[in-house]
Amino acid sequence: MGDRKVRDARRVTAVQPDVVELASALIACDSVTPATGAVFDVLEAALVPLGFHVDRFIMGEAPDGPVENMLATRGTSGRHFAFAGHLDVVPPGSGWTSGAFVPEVRDGLLHGRGAVDMKGAIAAFVAAIPPASDGMISLIITGDEEGPATYGTPVIIDRMAARGIRPDLCLVGEPTSAKHLGDMIKIGRRGSVNIWIDVPGRQGHVAYPHLADNPIPRLVAALSEIDAIVLDEGNAWFQPSNIEVTDITVGNPATNVIPAHASARLSIRFNDEHTGADLAARIEAVVHRHAPEAKVVARISGEAFLTPPGAFSAMIADAITARTGLIPDLSTTGGTSDARFLSALCPVVEFGLLNATMHKLDEAVAVEDLRSLRDIYADILARALA
């Protein structure tokens, strides 16, 4: 596999690489999150002949690092168009028809982990870049979107700020299409916050409850109140926010012992009517009403954001319609993406391949969709930099 990666990296060096060959070369690199090394070598080898300055750097320490990132730029003035994506992938799992990192075209589909999420889109964008253009083009590529993202895109944004780089528009190549390429683009995402609750008690024998303190009833009472909360009814662009209990743990193997601790975990996906900090504070208040000594820890993965429909989303929609005849739906559905960080810089829209096989066994992209996406991206670039 190592020799193959080297050959692929050397082979993809044409000024405008073939989209299928580049996607295959990227897929051939085992890049389970956090990705480093060979997969970045392949991308760099494709970008340098196009005139890009490639800045690769590794940041962070365990447990969330180290992470490799790339900021590739071409041009220094004029309108600045950025493309953002990630080279890391989720673990492949077992049971693939062919190897997860052995790209193979079968029946018009290119198979391999990352084919749609999102090595295919990165290959399509690179293949769409003309040998020369006005304005400035940048690629914001992380090796840790599928993981904690602590040392991923936020670190690239800091590096851009230190260099005075700020895009005017940013396209994120996440797989947004549902049934046909171009039928949906994302103009926003809900925010996400995970909350860990630990309720302390006092261990003791169940026959002597007056000598112990059972934390479970207090935790259950708090979760019952939390479960009854209706955060909102949704709005014009977002579905209702929701709170889900994702884990309850006591870890008590004995039948005659009152436990010393009971814990739970919540996941909240919220729209732009809330902030992560406000929701965390609300949950903490509920828990402390039932269990004043409880420990509540919140981790905000990202805030909700919306790029209001306008010139940028219309530009992308027009490029899609010109190629496919489809008029894409504007959506904010789905999970989080690194667009949540990039939205602080400029208007951000997400558009990419079909998401039907992302994270699944035998992940695959239609070869024709790869070529169509390349052409749509080329049209978007031309419109953006005109």
What does the alpha-carbon distance between residue 287 and residue 280 come to, in Å, rounded to a whole number? 11
Set 145, 198, 338, 363: catalytic member: 145
What does the alpha-carbon distance between residue 246 and residue 251 come to, in Å, rounded to a whole number? 16
E-state strands within the chain: 53-59, 67-74, 80-86, 104-106, 109-111, 136-142, 169-172, 184-186, 188-189, 191-200, 204-205, 242-249, 257-258, 261-270, 295-302, 305-306, 329-331, 348-350, 364-366
Tokens 């797989």 belong to 175
Q: What pLDDT is recorded for position 4? A: 32
Mean pLDDT of the chain: 95
Residues forming the annotated binding site for Zn(2+)? 86, 117, 146, 174, 359
What does the alpha-carbon distance between residue 5 and residue 329 come to, in Å, rounded to a whole number? 38
Q: What pLDDT is recorded for position 5? A: 33
What does the alpha-carbon distance between residue 152 and residue 155 come to, in Å, rounded to a whole number? 6
| 366-383 residue pLDDT tens | 999 999 999 999 999 999
Q: What pLDDT is recorded for position 7? A: 34
Shortest CA distance to 351 belongs to which of 186, 161, 209? 186
Span 129-152, average pLDDT: 95
| 85-127 residue pLDDT tens | 999 999 999 999 999 999 999 999 999 999 999 999 999 999 9
Domains of the chain listed by start with CATH number: 2-189+304-385 (3.40.630.10), 191-302 (3.30.70.360)
Q: What pLDDT is recorded for position 195? A: 98
Span 277-297, average pLDDT: 98
The model's pTM is 0.89
Q: What pLDDT is recorded for position 3? A: 33
Does pLDDT of 144 surpass 50? yes
Residue type, 371: R
318 catalytic per annotation: no
Residues forming the annotated binding site? 86, 117, 146, 174, 359
- DSSP codes joined into one string, 11-44: H--SSS--HHHHHHHHHTS--BSSP-THHHHHHH
Span 162-178, average pLDDT: 97
DSSP letter for 354, please: B
| 32-91 residue pLDDT tens | 999 999 999 999 999 999 999 999 999 999 899 999 999 999 999 999 999 999 999 999
Shortest CA distance to 279 belongs to which of 305, 307, 304, 249? 304
What does the alpha-carbon distance between residue 348 and residue 3 come to, in Å, rounded to a whole number? 38
Q: What pLDDT is recorded for position 73? A: 98
| 225-284 residue pLDDT tens | 999 999 999 999 999 999 999 999 999 999 999 999 999 999 999 999 999 999 999 999
Q: Is the CB of residue 88 less than 8 Å from the CB of residue 144? A: yes
Q: What pLDDT is recorded for position 30? A: 97
**pLDDT confidence bin for 15, thresholds 50/70/90:** confident
- DSSP codes joined into one string, 144-186: -SSS--TTSHHHHHHHHHHTT---SEEEE----BSSSTTSEEE
Q: What are phi and psi of 6, to 5 degrees?
A: -65, -45
Residue type, 311: A
Tokens of 306: 């919306």
350 catalytic per annotation: no
Set 8, 30, 68, 88: catalytic member: 88
Q: How many other C-beta atoms are found inside a 10 Å radius of the C-beta of residue 292?
A: 9
**Which residues on adjacent β-strands are paired with residue 70?**
56, 141
How much of the chain, in percent, has pLDDT values that exceed 70?
Answer: 96
